[in-house]
Structure formats: structure tokens, C-alpha cells
Amino acid sequence: DTAVSQTPKYLVTQMGNDKSIKCEQNLGHDTMYWYKQDSKKFLKIMFSYNNKELIINETVPNRFSPKSPDKAHLNLHINSLELGDSAVYFCASSQRGNEKLFFGSGTQLSVL
């Protein structure tokens, strides 16, 4: 069983579209995250949710919105996609107090 799974693995879309990336973890962790791998391969935190509450919200455009229906899921919704949004997005989870991250396999988003 995959611990942290995200779908889709690849997402190709046109500029201006709205898209979502889904993430689910079966580890019983209480915190989930979205990271963006930038052009220099840095992993940059975008959001994290702890017990359904947003606890970190970096300076990302408000076109990006995390949605967490329960503590096992943290989906990423992106409105009005732009060319610069093309990147690999990673979901991760951890248990507060340990913070060791378990990553999903990544979603490669290409905006044309």
C-alpha cells in the first residue's frame, strides 16, 4: 500500500484553466503539506494543514488553494493557471512532534 499517494502523476493543461491535484495518506499522520520544486530544484513549502487547520501559508498566489476534507486528504486547487506554474508539486505528510516527511511521488504540471 502506498503511504502517500497523489494524482495525477502528470498534468498537461492550457493557460487559464483550473485544475486540482489530489493527495491522500494512510499513515495516520496529523499534518499534510504541499511543496513546489522550483526551477533550481529547491523544494519550497506552499501549505501545510494540521488537524484541518492551515498552519503555514507561504507567499504563494491566492490562485492556489489547499482543501482538506479530512486529515487523510489535502488537495491542491489552482485557478487560472499560468505558464510559471509549471513545476513538480509534491505532497507530504508527517506526525507533529516528529516532522519526518513522507512524500508522494510528485505531480508534474505543464502549463501550455
Partner 1 sequence: ILNVEQSPQSLHVQEGDSTNFTCSFPSSNFYALHWYRWETAKSPEALFVMTLNGDEKKKGRISATLNTKEGYSYLYIKGSQPEDSATYLCARLSGSARQLTFGSGTQLTVLP
Residues that bind partner 1 (CB under 8 A): 40-45, 48, 55-56, 90, 96, 98-106
Would you call 58 helix, strand, or coil by DSSP?
coil
> In whole angstroms, how close is the CB of 95 to partner 1 at the nearest point?
12
Pairwise CA distance, residues 109 & 1, whole Å = 25
85 and 111 in contact (C-beta within 8 Å)?
yes
Taking the complex as a whole, how short is the minimal distance between the CB of residue 105 and partner 1, in angstroms?
A: 5
Enter the C-alpha cell of residue 38. 522550483
Measured from the CB atom, the residue of 26 and 105 that comes closer to partner 1 is: 105
Residue closer to partner 1 by CB (options 64, 89) is: 89
